[in-house]
């Protein structure tokens, strides 16, 4: 009998409380990807300004997401 009924108030309320957490996680993942993309695009300028070698630029790319 419980399979035939529509979702009750409890199920709907539980879904509504979980949905913002999913939104925050997706926005965070998008911003992290965007930030990494900006760092990749800026790498030639960073290398020129800092007189960095290719190895140092690779190091910057590896460590930047952790900062």
Q: pLDDT tens across 4-42, in order? A: 666 666 666 666 777 888 899 999 999 989 988 998 899
pLDDT category at 48 given cuts 50, 70, 90 is very high
Domain residue ranges of the chain, discontinuous segments joined by +: 23-66
Rg (CA), the chain: 22
Cβ partners under 8 Å of residue 39, min gap 6: 60, 61, 64
- Say what the pLDDT of residue 67 is: 75
Cα 67 to chain centroid distance, Å, stands at 14
Full-model pTM: 0.59
Q: Is the pLDDT assigned to residue 1 strictly greater than 60?
A: no
- Say what the pLDDT of residue 5 is: 63
For 50, what's the count of Cα atoms within 13 Å in the CB-facing half-sphere? 13
């Amino acid at each position: 009998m419980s399979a035939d009924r529509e979702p009750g108030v409890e199920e709907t309320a539980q879904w509504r409380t979980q949905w913002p957490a999913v939104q925050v996680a997706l926005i965070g993942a998008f911003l992290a990807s965007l930030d990494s993309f900006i760092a990749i695009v800026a790498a030639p300028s960073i290398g020129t300004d800092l007189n960095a070698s290719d190895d140092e630029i690779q190091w910057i790319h590896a460590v930047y997401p952790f900062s």
